[in-house]
Amino acid sequence: MLNNKISKAVRLAIAFSAVSTAAFSASSMAAEKEKVERIEVTGSRIKQVDMETSSPVTVITAADLQLSGEASVADVLNNTSVNSFGSWRGMSGYGNGAAATSNINMRGLGAEYTLVLLDGRRMPGTSSSSGAAADTSRIPMAIVERIEILREGASAVYGSDAVAGVINIITKKDFNGLSFSYDTELPSAEGGDTNRFNVSTGYSGEKGNITLTYEYYDAESVYDRDIWKLNDETYADYSSFSSVPNGNGASGWVTSPTMCAESNNTVDGGTRCLYNYGAVTKLFGDTTQNSMLSNFNYEFTDNLKFRGRASASLSETDSRYAGTPVSTNQPTMLADNPLNPVGEDLTLYMRSANIGERDTRTEINSIDFLGGLVGFVDVANGIDWEFNVQHSRSTTNSFNTNLINDDVVQKLIDSGEYDIFNTSGMSFANWDSSMKDLYGQAAHTGVYQARFTSTQFDTVASTLLFDNGDVSIAGVVGAEFEQVEFEQMSDPQSASGRVSGGSGGDDVNAERDRTSVYSELQVNLPYNVDIKAAVRYDKYEQEGDVGSQFVSGTFDNVAPQIGVAWRPSDALLVRASWGESFRAPNMGEMFSSQALSFEKAYDTIWCDTQGNAGSDAIYCNPNASQQHKTWFGGNPDLEPEEGESFTTGFVWNVTDDLSVELSYYNIKLENRIAAVSVERLLKDEQDNGSNPAVVRDPNTGRIDVMYSFDQNMASLETSGFDFKTAYMFESSIGNFALKGELSYVSDFEEVTEEGADAFDYAGLQEYPELRGNVTFDWTNDAFGAAWTTYYIGDQDSGNEEYGVTYLADIPSYIKHNIQVSYNHEWNGKFVLGVNNVFDKEAPQLNDGTRGYRDASTSLYDVLGRAVFLKVEQNF
């Protein structure tokens, strides 16, 4: 009888809408004088007492974070099973600040399809994503109370970007005293050492509390040469763009073998001098980050409270890429140049390594302020309300040294003063000095700056609408207004397309107003059936500079969602949820000016149709694919992407100590934004005889440049299963706990362009069907131990599907982390552990027959075994 009363009370508490954190006494439990505390669960605006609703949510507690052994929130999220195909981790060689950021990529759809919240509110986006994706590496581990992962689309509740799901990071708000912690991690790979220091303090009084957390984090760089193994026979990080110039003309290649033998990081490639760029490139840069966060609240009266939050993050990342290949506008040496060694026109393959590598300093500063009033009005069944103001700003400044002005290089070569092929027989020192002088005159420092600013006002009210003892209805209504400004720009020279070695040209100057209104109902019916229904309306009004003029536009969207949960018994919950999702095009996709990239593609017309494959085996290598200069740009006529999300499954508490969950998901996306691929541009040229977007050199007939712009033209459908289980066992030697999760991707079918056939990536290389992890931990008084295993399933090479022959089959990958802990009597703790205990190597992507062998840093641990130590002291 008591169980039935408690079950009824829980359902009433779910129905009873509230925004405040006060506990209330359910009427059906009054006799037992029990109280239940309502919390806001990710996926609903209505507070409730049960974490399990019609929406599937994975909860990662602060204890889980510690047991993972990982160094950052970004690493923890990257290891979750719903992060199906891995997530971006900042690496050298990427512009727009991307080398200094990390993100989360639920279901493999892309980081811009996962909404990241901090305490239920949107985190500022990164400049590299035009504000569309949050940087999960900016969140200090010490402030996290728990992380809730909503594993379904939720645009009806949260708006745009919540297509694949929602990550809600809940911070600690109640803390008394003072706490210090320090941890360090030392991987077996050269470099990669991390150190983190944290101090937290808090005070609670009768009227309110305040907490303050500061964290310092430092990570050393890791070089390519220490990961991809220079002495391995399959190592192939070599380039024809060399510090010892190579020339290509009608008679073939020309270079200076003597200079090649004496130069650093060069090898004799037979017909040319190859540069070993992997010997000097940082895979991961040096990073230093300072983060601060404060939560505070004050109770004016029993029915009125002020709450606030302030945070700041300041980071610096020093990344390094090899000396600049002069490739944006390749220089030439005419046949009549007095220093031309063969007397015929040459295309030059040059690299400015003589003056040093490309070093980039990226500074990212983010601030976030929130202030709000939370209240209660005692009318009818009572109305809970709140009003908030939030201001966020993120700025990125990036300085990229030793870029090269192509026009200056060409001018100096045409002058006949620089003997780049050493036809005069200079000593190496004199020749090298001459090359340094040439590149020094052409050297350029690229500057990239971006600012993303958001100011939001929102209000929400909720109440119990109806309750007759058998049926209850709770409701919430809310409204939001947000103003967003986004600017990014490169220095004029980099943006002009006349500079090699950096990124530039994708300048954005845009602003956007968003107006949103939403409503949600929670209906509790007899027989333990609960129904949740939500609808949201969003209107976007934006304006941006596209170079020649300012353009503006408006679009809106209505997103509904409905979910059903049924408890046939106290131990079993059966649920299903359906909803529509959408993603608004970000301001970069809409308003960015043209940006230059170098895309790989096989030139079928020149090589095969015109029969030139034999005359240039490098350009026409079907396995290596030549890089082609390609300009990309935004499109102000883009429309929102649309989608549907469906989930169903059950949660079963088999016993008091054992629970299991099985869920099925299906996500469909239409009207996806994508740029026309270079392969499609070339196919259209072949089918139609010409394509204005493909421009060929009038002398050689080879591709000179291609143009591609964003369009609404793609679609995707993916489905699969999530399995979770947890088991606890108490014994005379301590308490044992087992927690595991496994995700299976049954299909991942994408149509990249209108009219193309669907392509199923599931199970192919870098698209594993299976991903999971298991944690087994033991505690006994002051002692503890944990063993965590991470699993990534095997993958087919995809050679047949991709039409290539060089990719490798990927075996399954298993990594183990272990740790032991001790809580000493002076209110402190020690944790010692080893990540990747058996030093499992990340699998390589190809069979060693072509020019790369890197593992996926998004999916795998490439740093090897790492020892870590954590020390915590509380006062």
pTM of the model: 0.84
Write out the H or E segment, with its range, that includes residue 412. helix 406-414
Q: Is the predicted pLDDT of residue 316 greater than 70, yes or no?
A: yes
**pLDDT value for 16:** 33
Range 3-10 contact pairs with CB under 8 angstroms and sequence separation of 24 or more: 3/570, 5/29, 5/31, 5/32, 6/34, 7/528, 7/567, 7/570, 9/34, 9/36, 10/36, 10/49, 10/50
Q: Cβ distance 552 to 541 under 8 Å? A: yes
What percent of the chain stands above pLDDT 90? 47
pLDDT digits (tens, 9 = 90+) for 803-824: 777 788 999 999 999 999 999 9
Which residues, listed in sequence order, are joined to residue 285 by a DSSP beta bridge?
none
Tell me the backbone φ, ψ of residue 590, rounded to 5 degrees. Answer: -90, -40
Return the SS3 of 36. Answer: strand
Q: Sheet holding 165-171: strands in order across?
A: 57-61, 144-150, 165-171, 114-118, 121-122
Give CA separation, 301 vs 21, 214, 379, in Å: 14, 31, 17
The C-alpha angle 364, 442, 411, rounded to 5 degrees, equals 145
> For the residues 191-208, what does the mean pLDDT come to?
91
From residue 249, alpha-carbon distances to 195, 255, 334, 348 in Å are 53, 11, 10, 9
With 90 as the cut, is the pLDDT of residue 14 above it?
Answer: no
Give backbone dihedrals phi and psi of 222, rounded to 5 degrees, phi first: -130, 130
When pLDDT is cut at 50, 70 and 90, the band that residue 100 belongs to is low
Burial of 372 (0-12, 13-18, 19+ CB in 10 A): middle
| pLDDT score, position 13 | 36
- For 173-235, where are the E strands, in sequence order? 177-187, 194-204, 208-219, 222-223
Half-sphere exposure at residue 562, Cβ-oriented, CA atoms within 13 angstroms: 2
> Quick one: pLDDT at residue 661?
95
pLDDT number for residue 849: 54
Banded model confidence at residue 355, pLDDT cuts 50, 70, 90: very high
Instruction: Confirm if 662 and 575 have CB atoms less than 8 A apart.
Output: no
Q: How far apart are the first and last CA of the chain?
A: 45
Place of tokens 């018994």: 569
Place of tokens 């004496």: 262
Amino acid identity for residue 712 in this structure: N
Q: What is the pLDDT of residue 65?
A: 85
257: Cβ–Cβ under 8 A, 6 or more apart, which residues? 268, 273
Query: What is the C-alpha separation between 498 and 484, in angstroms, rounded?
Result: 32
Question: What are the tens digits of pLDDT across the range 691-730?
Answer: 888 999 888 888 988 888 888 888 999 999 999 999 999 9
Window from 109-113, 416-420, 454-458 with minimum mean pLDDT: 109-113
As a whole number, mean pLDDT of residues 834-856 equals 76
Q: Tell me: pLDDT of 37 over 80.
A: no
pLDDT band at 294 (very low <50, low <70, confident <90, very high): very high
Paired residues of 377 in beta bridges: 383
Which amino acid appears at position 632 of this protein? F
Which helix (H) or strand (E) segment is 433 a member of?
helix 428-442
**Per residue in 217-260, pLDDT tens?**
999 999 888 887 655 655 667 888 999 999 988 888 999 999 99
| 800 and 762 Cβ atoms separated by less than 8 Å | no
